[in-house]
């Protein structure tokens, strides 16, 4: 799919500039969503299988203290000199219902995004990470960050986290996101004619973006929670019928385009 960015915008978009991205067919995305399972061990196995099925050539498993399941990491490297890294993450564990919203909606996007990015020329290296044990205390994201040297941390151009998508149109967490990344995502959403609003979720809980934001790493935290929908999270209501399919599919399209755009524009 190709979108035309028709306005000169503060985020650096230019008249006539294009961003090419790929979106899954609704049937494939729905099939993967319905793989949601209440147990973390099974969720890990199903996510790892999706990475394998979509052709991840460098799939790693990172041990996580306090978790029986590791972080699965699909590394998509580049030969570009002095390449920095973009991290795309979503936790795969759950704590209510089938956990389809929180956070199978985020986790199952990782393999398809990795597959798409691997098939394109790119300026940055990418890590697509399924974070383990987020519900226990952000253990997976903390393990990922702690495994890196200071120099490696400085080479991270951006972290994009996805948590609890598809309840409403795409939201971003202001208190856990970096201004530059928010502006770029907002302008891209406008070009796609998609709603994109800031909603803080500090009073509800936390998510893996907080690990990186606290460390001073550029972070964009994406979700779909509002005052009206937050009670679905970590409850028996976290099931298929709570999903707003159109909003979820639009979020999928936005994130697919955003990764391409960030790869083009970030230093």
Give, in degrees to the nearest 5, the angle at Cα 193 between 187 and 195.
Answer: 80
Residue 203: predicted pLDDT = 74
Fold of the domain spanning 27-181+193-245: Aminopeptidase (3.40.630)
Report residue 49 as tokens.
Answer: 């299988």
Residue 6: predicted pLDDT = 34
Q: What is the largest CA-CA distance in the chain?
A: 50
> Structure pTM?
0.93
Residue 82: predicted pLDDT = 87
Residue 81: predicted pLDDT = 84
CA distance 220 to 261: 14
SS3 content of the chain, % helix, strand, coil (to 5): 40, 20, 45
Give, in degrees to the nearest 5, the angle at Cα 51 between 43 and 251.
Answer: 80
| pLDDT tens-digit map of 60-101 | 999 999 999 999 999 999 988 889 999 999 999 999 999 999
Spatial contact of 148 and 73, defined as CB atoms under 8 Å apart: no
Residue 206: predicted pLDDT = 85
Report residue 5 as tokens.
Answer: 């960015």
The helix (H) or strand (E) run that includes residue 29 is: helix 26-33
Residue 15: predicted pLDDT = 46
Give, in degrees to the nearest 5, the angle at Cα 189 between 9 and 76.
Answer: 100
Contacts of residue 200, Cβ cutoff 8 Å, sequence gap at least 6: 173, 174, 175
- The residue ranges of DSSP E strands in 23-173, in sequence order, are 59-62, 71-76, 85-91, 125-131, 156-162, 171-172
| Residue (of 60, 50, 69, 167) closest to 113 by Cα position | 50
* C-alpha atoms less than 13 angstroms from C-alpha of 79 in its C-beta half-sphere: 2
Spatial contact of 115 and 55, defined as CB atoms under 8 Å apart: yes
In order of 117, 164, 173, 189, 224, the CA distances from 182 in angstroms are 21, 18, 9, 10, 15
Query: What residue ranges of the chain have pLDDT lower than 70?
Result: 1-17
Residue 16: predicted pLDDT = 55
Domain ranges for the chain = 27-181+193-245
């Amino acid at each position: 799919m190709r979108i035309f960015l028709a306005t000169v915008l503060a985020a650096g978009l230019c008249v006539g500039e294009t961003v090419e991205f790929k979106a899954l067919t609704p049937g494939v995305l729905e099939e993967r969503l319905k793989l949601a399972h209440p147990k973390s061990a099974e969720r890990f196995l199903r996510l790892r299988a999706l990475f394998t099925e979509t052709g991840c050539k460098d799939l790693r498993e990172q041990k996580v203290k306090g978790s029986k399941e590791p972080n699965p990491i699909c590394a998509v490297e580049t030969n570009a000199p002095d390449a920095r890294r973009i991290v795309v993450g979503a936790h795969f564990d759950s704590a209510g219902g089938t956990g389809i919203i929180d956070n199978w909606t985020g986790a199952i996007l990782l393999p398809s995004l990795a597959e798409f990015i691997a098939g394109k020329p790119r300026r940055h290296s990418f890590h697509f990470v399924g974070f383990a044990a987020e519900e226990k205390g952000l253990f997976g994201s903390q393990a990922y960050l702690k495994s890196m040297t200071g120099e490696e941390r400085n080479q991270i151009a951006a972290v994009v986290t996805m948590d609890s998508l598809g309840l409403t149109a795409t939201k971003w967490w202001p208190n856990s996101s970096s201004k530059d990344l928010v502006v770029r995502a907002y302008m891209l959403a406008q070009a796609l004619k998609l709603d994109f609003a800031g909603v803080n979720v500090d009073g509800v809980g936390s998510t893996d973006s907080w690990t990186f934001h606290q460390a001073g790493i550029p972070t964009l935290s994406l979700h779909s929670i509002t005052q009206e929908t937050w009670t679905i999270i970590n409850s028996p209501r976290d099931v298929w019928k709570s999903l707003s399919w159109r909003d979820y599919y639009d979020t999928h399209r936005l994130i697919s385009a955003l990764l391409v755009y960030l790869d083009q524009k970030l230093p």
